[in-house]
A and B are shown apart, each in its own frame.
Chain A
Amino acid sequence: MSLLQVENLRTVFDTRQGAVVAVDGVDLSLAAGRTLAVVGESGCGKSALALSLMRLLAHPGRVAGGRVLLEDEDLLALSPAKMRARRGSRVAMVFQEPMTSLNPVHTVGAQIMEAMRAHDRSLSKSDLRDAAISALARVRIPSPERRFDDHPHRLSGGMRQRVMIAMALACQPRLLIADEPTTALDVTVQAQILDLLRDIQAETGMGLLLITHDLGVVAETADEVAVMYAGRVVERASATDLFADPQHPYTIGLLGSIPRMDLETPRLPTIEGSVPPPFAWPPGCRFAPRCAFADAACEVAPPPLAMLAPGHEVACIYAPVDA
């Protein structure tokens, strides 16, 4: 049974020129204890997707359709008060920038206690303090009793991200959504945080939805992968299959354009052009204008995801491109 089931999710931004689509009919599913990576470049809609799941999209963005089932409950159908109760206790989120996500004028301890108190008013102050310190210890912050009284500016970027994770996990959510959680961090600290997330997942069995642009991070953490391009999922597969047998021309282009430690080529293969903004999406396959394999047939309508092998879906009429 899946922990999270997203069905035909559509998110739009209302502008003076009309509704601009950011997420265009996305389906995802994630089982408890597993990691699903949503990968794509700037403007593909992956962050709008994450905020839509949390129902945290700010005006003028809004979810225009679809269902978000978390343990069979449609989050999109909940009242705002009920949704507020789900955030933190059932689904929590970690953002990219740990400095702007923490309040600079409160100690980290006070901020974690605030998150806990919001869900359980019965806890005494000393219970809260103990729980917050053990939350800091769980994310392996050294001497958590001392760190409890620190303000965020006293902590390094990696420590701040650990605090953010401690806050997100304070009420034991079943699902953690992490939007580029290590992008702002140095590689050695990134490796520490990825280790930490993996360990916590093994301890708690929570599901992790990881939003990232980094295929190295995907390979390191994900069980399942959804590749997004211009608001749509273009390929869905297990991480093993995606890297061994990439089928969508966009996925192939992405894998080709990362510089590799063991492969020295005089020139990197590139995907020419850039991701079109939503108001300039072509009518057919949105990748067609940049695609080496596209022809007139690709310009008719966006191809739907089709299952080419068990557990491997691709939205391309010419996939797999082997001829």
Chain B
Amino acid sequence: MTILEVTDIARHFRVSGGVVRAVDGVSFQLARGETLALVGESGCGKSTTARLALRLIEPSAGSLRFDGVDMTQAGTKAMRAMRRRAQIVFQDPYASLNPRHTIAETLEEPLLVHGIGDAASRRARVEELLSLVGLAPFHAARFPHEFSGGQRQRIGIARALSAGPDVVVCDEPVSALDVSIQAQVVNLLKDLQSRFGLAYLFIAHDLAVVRHMADRVAVMYLGRIVEQADKRSLFANPRHPYTRALLAAIPRPDPAGRGRLSPPPGDPPSPINPPPGCPFHPRCGFAVARCAVDVPPLREIAPGHVAACHLAEALPALPPSMDDRPSPVAMRRIALAAARMAARV
């Protein structure tokens, strides 16, 4: 069942020298309990899309429905009701917590804003939230500077959960964290999702993390979705050359695959002056004359799989992917360490 529906949403920013079409006609639906990942490189408009989906910034065009209600024109009261049910976790756990507030104050604030509970029940809720994200009750009286990056991100997640949301936008929630901490936070987000039936709009640039978190994936380039599909078909059978370029550029942790990265040439073009036709055509290895003229529409290639490429059906089969698993010895030792750790706890 759809909880969040974004239709043809756009956001243009006027800058000296023209108009930046940061988001240019993006549509998607998010169902209860699922994770939709928005992926793409810096400047593709994924964070702006996330903010539009929460109406933290106003759209230039398009519409936004939350739980069946049109929020595009909603007044303050309706917006406030939506905000209780749609929250956000930010990328930078250092910048997104108020350094002068204790953790208890930070976690209590959403409850105060929405008039939930009395002082005693709010205190109990703060304790509950801390234990949900793996922190201890005594942490409530501390300040953000007393925590590591991973712990701060846990606090940011607890704050997002405070008022009991249905939808959580996660804007690069693990990209500022070290790998070992990243894995802890990814596991935590998955646990919380299955426990509370949360829907995640998961913004990320790391496709391996996305593969681990998402049910469906939308790939953005220059303000538009260029491909969207369920995770399995997107990774196994990508139909847009840009998706393929992203996949081919990830360095795999296996020295045997060395030298097989094949990045597209050049940088993403300026969103002030996007190229005519398909915005990816100047960097695309498959482009034909038509690509420089006609803008390819987003069209259905297979059920539930859309791509904006004239040649989507004609792209050659994907070369066999590099095997991305730890070596057999490493796998055995990883399993052994996990079993030992589990036995100890």
Contact = CB atoms under 8 A, between A and B. Distances in A.
Partners in one complex: yes
Interface of A: 41-42, 156-159, 186-192, 194-195, 198, 213-222, 239-240, 243-246, 249, 252-264, 266-272, 274-275, 292-293, 320-322
Interface in B143-159: 148-151
B180 A255 contact: no
Given A188-B41, A253-B334, A274-B148, 10 more contacts: A187-B205, A191-B262, A195-B263, A243-B330, A264-B211, A269-B183, A269-B334, A275-B178, A321-B333, A321-B337
Given A217-B251, A252-B334, A255-B330, A263 B186 contact: no
Interface stretch (B22-30, B82-90, B253-261): B253-261
- List 8 A-B pairs, minimum CB-CB distance, nearest first: A216-B251, A191-B263, A256-B334, A257-B183, A292-B340, A186-B41, A41-B178, A220-B251
24 contacts: A187-B246, A187-B249, A189-B267, A190-B249, A191-B263, A216-B253, A217-B251, A219-B252, A220-B259, A221-B258, A222-B255, A243-B326, A244-B329, A246-B329, A253-B334, A255-B334, A257-B179, A257-B180, A257-B182, A259-B183, A259-B208, A264-B212, A274-B150, A322-B333
B235 A261 contact: yes
Residue from A213, A255, A264 with most neighbouring chain B CB atoms (10 Å): A255
Given A219-B251, A252-B334, A187 B41 contact: yes
A214 B251 CA distance: 9
Interface stretch (B10-18, B299-307, B317-325): B317-325
B181 interface: yes
Interface residues of B, number: 62
B208 A243 contact: no
Contacts of B150: 274
Interface string B157-196: 0000000000000000000001111111011001000000
A213 B178 contact: yes
A321 B250 contact: no
A253 B337 contact: yes
Contacts of B334: 252-253, 255-256, 269
Nearest to B256: A240
Given A42-B149, A219-B254, A188 B263 contact: yes
